[in-house]
Amino acid sequence: MKVGTIPPRFPSSSLCAVRLTSLALIFLASMLFAQDAHFHNAPASSNQLKNPYAGQQAAVTAGSKLYAMNCGSCHGIKGRGTGNIPALAKGPTQSASDGEVFWFITTGSVDNGMPAWASLPEQKRWQIVTYLKSLKNTPSAPTNDSASAEVKPVKTNAAPPQPPYTDFRYEQPGKVRKITAQDLPAPYVTESASNGPQLAARPRDAWPKAPTGFSVQQYMTGLDNPRLIRTAPNGDFFLAESSSGKIKVFRGITADGKPERAETFAAGLNEPYGIAFYPPGKDPQWVYVGDTDSVLRFPYKNGDLKASGPEQHIADLPHAGGHWTRDVQFTTDSRKMFVSVGSRSNVDDPEANPEEKNRADILEFNPDGSDMRLYAYGIRNAGGGLAINPKTGELWCSVNERDGLGDNLVPDYITHVEEGGFYGWPWWYIGDHQDPRHEGKHLELKNKALVPDVLLQPHNASLEMTFYEGTQFPAEYQGDIFASQHGSWNRSVRAGYEVIRVPLHQTSRASGEYEDFVTGFVIDNRHVWGRPVGVTEARDGSLLVTDDGSNSIWRIRYTGSDSQQHERERNDTTHGRANRAANNAANRTSR
């Protein structure tokens, strides 16, 4: 990668005049700063703090209970992370000293969604630190450890939301919604909530709900953190199991709606997420994978169920904390590769935090990893989903916006991406709305901040998206977008946990509205049993949706009749044997 090809992050006439040598010095300085930075900017004195309970099993046990009560809903069971909230069982938390972690638990970072726990007795804070440190190098939790036992729903007594905003109680298949920039409330109208979901077993009477005429089957279960899913040109489904570092492949759909075959294509990866086939078209030669810290590729030809050769390193990517997912797409002419890299923080100013360099952006490379440049910037986190409109060749993205400004700020969004476009983060949002945490900064960018095409419910956590090209669904669905919404933690009453449809009206342009498409994953305001992540189209025109809450893949098909109850009963009685066979086949293979 040539330093001279990296454009200034904040384009202006003065910055564009900076000489190449100055850019090189800035780049070097930022790299050295990032390497020397303390854990969450902890003071050097925190390193001198000694953990009085280090290595004590009693403290580990006590800390485990405290973690479950105070931290687990956001950071996941056994510190594995949830969605784009990073894992604590590995990475910076494990490399930091006990004192630095204790300091951060005590001090917090409210702007980044981390509350201060100074009110918790010192002994308990050290017990949490001791528990977290005990997680280092522990194996992945078994898949049946991801949810607690079935729970009884508790009624939510909060007042109904004021339109155009909603919450899980009012999400229903077929409901059309539209949020505009004029609908945004002022910051801090409500307090910033900490309402992460607690995973529970799917209740016996629960099943994903789709519009009338559609049915839902459970294609696969027993997976390990299933995330992005993409369909190969030959119809195979490539799935990223991010926690276990695997790319799996599922082939076919049986009469019972199960995979005909399952294999492990590659293993030993570092939190893989994005998957793309290159060159685009019917005869790819490579499978590209977006690891959290790099782009890799494997030799591939149609029909391969296992990588036919070793991985090749294509490009390093910014990493070290924060949003960890990296999606990958190629232009239709095969000349350029797009990679989305989310921010390290919620709203840290990149000018004061060099570790944000080349983050909150969509990066462009040649397919061999050379000539990196910023394609679009100010996009807090599009790491969950990039897509190319097959009719126009335009790049689109699905974005997680910032937290901490209240229940109804800031809307997540789906939009086409303009080359060189600035989308606001961290100083502005949804056009000319200034983030009060950066008041008075970068006024020259106010009128440059673009308003995205489709505003979604704030904190929905919009992830993978796909354009529908099939013919199984009714004709009005042709060309529309489907996107998975992983669900909120920063709302007092949760929202998301669904699959949405964005109608393009056969015009390749969105008009701002979206529609609830598949719902039913929430039990109550504390518990959920499912969290949609990925979505892809099968060759027969049905949709497959990954769910890292129930560790499943769901299949949505159009039947023309209201047959969901029949599908649920049939799947409940038949899925065990078929899924066990497919999962055993996948577990017997490795890269």
What is the SS3 assignment for 460-492? Answer: CCEEEEEECCCCCCCHHHCCCEEEEECCCCCCC
Which one of 137, 165, 190 terminates a domain?
137
Judge whether 169 lies within some domain. Answer: no
Based on the fold, state whether residues 353 and 242 are members of the same structural domain.
yes
> Cα 579 to chain center, whole Å?
26
- Domain count of the fold of the chain: 2
* Cα gap 215→349, rounded to integer Å: 46
Judge whether 343 lies within some domain. Answer: yes
pLDDT at site 13 = 36
Based on the fold, state whether residues 126 and 241 are members of the same structural domain.
no
Based on the fold, state whether residues 382 and 515 are members of the same structural domain.
yes
Based on the fold, state whether residues 254 and 113 are members of the same structural domain.
no
Based on the fold, state whether residues 442 and 310 are members of the same structural domain.
yes
Judge whether 192 lies within some domain. Answer: no
pLDDT at site 31 = 33
**Contacts (Cβ under 8 Å, ≥6 apart) of 262:** 220, 248, 249, 250, 251, 582, 583, 585, 586
Based on the fold, state whether residues 132 and 249 are members of the same structural domain.
no
Based on the fold, state whether residues 474 and 340 are members of the same structural domain.
yes
For residue 51, how many other CB atoms are within 10 A of its CB? 18
Based on the fold, state whether residues 132 and 238 are members of the same structural domain.
no
Which one of 137, 172, 197 terminates a domain?
137
Strand partners, 250: 237, 262
Low-confidence ranges of the chain (pLDDT < 70): 1-38, 69, 73-74, 76-77, 82-86, 111, 113, 137-148, 561-591
CATH code for the domain in which residue 556 is found: 2.120.10.30
Residue with tokens 């099943």: 207
Judge whether 210 lies within some domain. Answer: no
- pTM score of the predicted model: 0.84
Judge whether 282 lies within some domain. Answer: yes
Judge whether 513 lies within some domain. Answer: yes
CATH code for the domain in which residue 60 is found: 1.10.760.10
Torsion sign across C-alpha atoms 29, 32, 38, 40 = positive
Per-residue HEC secondary structure of 352-403 comes to: CCHHHCCCCEEEEECCCCCCCEEEEECCCCCCCEEEECCCCCCEEEEECCCC
* Cα gap 77→141, rounded to integer Å: 8
List helix spans (H) across 172-214.
Answer: none
pLDDT at site 149 = 75
Judge whether 372 lies within some domain. Answer: yes
* Cα gap 105→108, rounded to integer Å: 6
Judge whether 101 lies within some domain. Answer: yes
pLDDT at site 124 = 85
DSSP codes of every residue in 304-350: -SS-SS--EEEEE---SSS---EEEEE-TTSS-EEEEE--SSSS--T
Instruction: Give helix 98-107 / helix 122-134 axis angle, nearest 10°.
Output: 130
Which one of 137, 161, 177 terminates a domain?
137
* Residue type for position 38: H
pLDDT at site 389 = 98
Based on the fold, state whether residues 274 and 130 are members of the same structural domain.
no
* Cα gap 140→242, rounded to integer Å: 11
Based on the fold, state whether residues 398 and 529 are members of the same structural domain.
yes
Task: Report the candidate in 533, 513, 500, 557 with the shortest Cα–Cα distance to residue 173.
Answer: 500
Full domain range(s) for residue 261:
234-587
Task: Please list, residue by residue across 398-431, b when 16 or more beta carbons sit within 10 angstroms of its beta carbon and e when fewer do.
Answer: bbbbbbbbbbbbbbbbbbbbeeebbbbbbbbbbb
Contact 272, 247 (CB under 8 A): yes
pLDDT at site 477 = 98
For residue 92, give both structure tokens: 């910076």
